[in-house]
Amino acid sequence: MRALRKAGAALALCAAALFTAAAPAVADGNDGKDAQNGKDGLTEAGTNFRTATALEQGEKATATASTGDYLYWAVPVAAGQVPTVEAKVKLPDASARHGGATWQLDVYDGLRRHQPCASGSPTHHADQQDTSVSLSCTVRQVRSWSERWANDPLPGAYYLRLTVVDLPEQDLGLPIDAEVTTTARDAGGKHADGGELAEPLNPSLRAGTIAEPDSEPPSDADSGSGSDSGDADEDSPRAVAEPEDGWGSGWWSDRWVWTAGGGALGALAAVGGYTLTRGPRSSGTGSGRPPADG
C-alpha cells in the first residue's frame, strides 16, 4: 500500500514536472521571446524578417547595436487601428564620427510589403554634432478587408526596420542604442469598414516542406497544401502573438448609435408630421373650439 502511495507521489511529482516543463514549451511557441522580456522590456532586436523580435503595442524595446546593422521588430496591429511607430537612436560620440548620417524607419506588413508612412518623419538626417535622432511613422488605418490587388494595410504582424541609409564609410560599425515603441489609436466609427479577413497576416515561422515531384496529388480529404495550413498551423510559431482584443475591430462602432438615432429621429419626425396634419383639425373640432355659450 505504501509502495503504491509512493508511486502515486512520484507520479504527482512527475505531473508537476510535466506542467512546469510544458509552460516554457508553450512560451517557446510564442517565439521564445519571453526570455528576453525582462523588467526593462525587450533588449534585443532581430536582424531579418525571420528573426524579428516580437513586441506588443505600447511596449518599449531597446537594443544595443552597431551602426549599419538592420534592426527588426514585429508588432501586432488589429483592424481599425492607426499604428504609429516611434524610434530613437542614440548616436556614437560626435568625436568618433566623421560626418552626418541619414537614418530610416521602415514599416512592412505581414506579407513583407512595404507600407508607406501617411505622416511622421521616417527618414531623418543627423548632423555630426547631434547626439540622437528621432524617427516616427504613422501608417494608414488598418482595414478589416481588402481586395487582393490592393496594398492596403491589413490586420496582422507589422515589421519595423531601423537602419542607417547614408553615412560616411568610416562610421560603419560604431556602437549605437536604439529604442522603439508602437502605439495605435482607434480610427473610430467614421472608418469602421465591413468584411473580415479569415486569417490575419501573421506569418508562420515553420520550415517548409517540398512535395516530391512524382508524388501522387494529395487526396481530396487532404485538399492539397490547405491541409498543412489547417490545424497544424495553429501550433506552429507565428511572428507575433494575437492581441488581447483579437485581430478584428469587433462588432461595436458608433455607427450603431448614429443609425439607431437616425431611426428614432425619423420616427419622431413622422409623428410630428402626422400631428401637424391633424393639428388644425383637432383644434377646430376638439378642445380648440370656443366653448358653447350658455
Q: Considering CB under 8 A, how many residues would be counted as binding other proteins?
A: 116
The identity of residue 289, as a single letter, is R
DSSP-derived 3-state class of residue 5: helix
Q: Rounded to the nearest 5°, which phi and psi values hold at 242?
A: -65, 135
Q: For residue 87, what is its C-alpha cell? A: 524610434
Helix (H) or strand (E) run with residue 2 in it: helix 2-29
Cβ of residue 253: shortest distance to other proteins, in angstroms? 5
Contact in structure between 40 and 22 (CB atoms under 8 Å): no
**Cβ distance to other proteins smaller for residue 147 or 293:** 147
Give the contact letters, 79-118, x = binds to other proteins (CB under 8 A), - = no. Answer: -----------------x-----------xxxxxxx----
DSSP-derived 3-state class of residue 267: helix
The identity of residue 263, as a single letter, is G
CA–centroid distance for 229 within its chain: 21
Of the residues 226, 286, 290, 294, which one makes contact with other proteins according to CB under 8 A? 226
Of the residues 121, 131, 132, 275, which one makes contact with other proteins according to CB under 8 A? 275
Cβ of residue 281: shortest distance to other proteins, in angstroms? 6
Of the residues 95, 207, 231, 291, which one makes contact with other proteins according to CB under 8 A? 207
Stretch that binds other proteins, among 82-90, 130-138, 177-185, 249-257 (CB under 8 A): 249-257
Of the residues 37, 55, 61, 69, which one makes contact with other proteins according to CB under 8 A? 69
The identity of residue 36, as a single letter, is Q
Sign of the C-alpha dihedral computed for residues 97, 107, 88 and 56 taken in this order: negative
Give the contact letters, 125-144, x = binds to other proteins (CB under 8 A), - = no. Answer: -------------------x
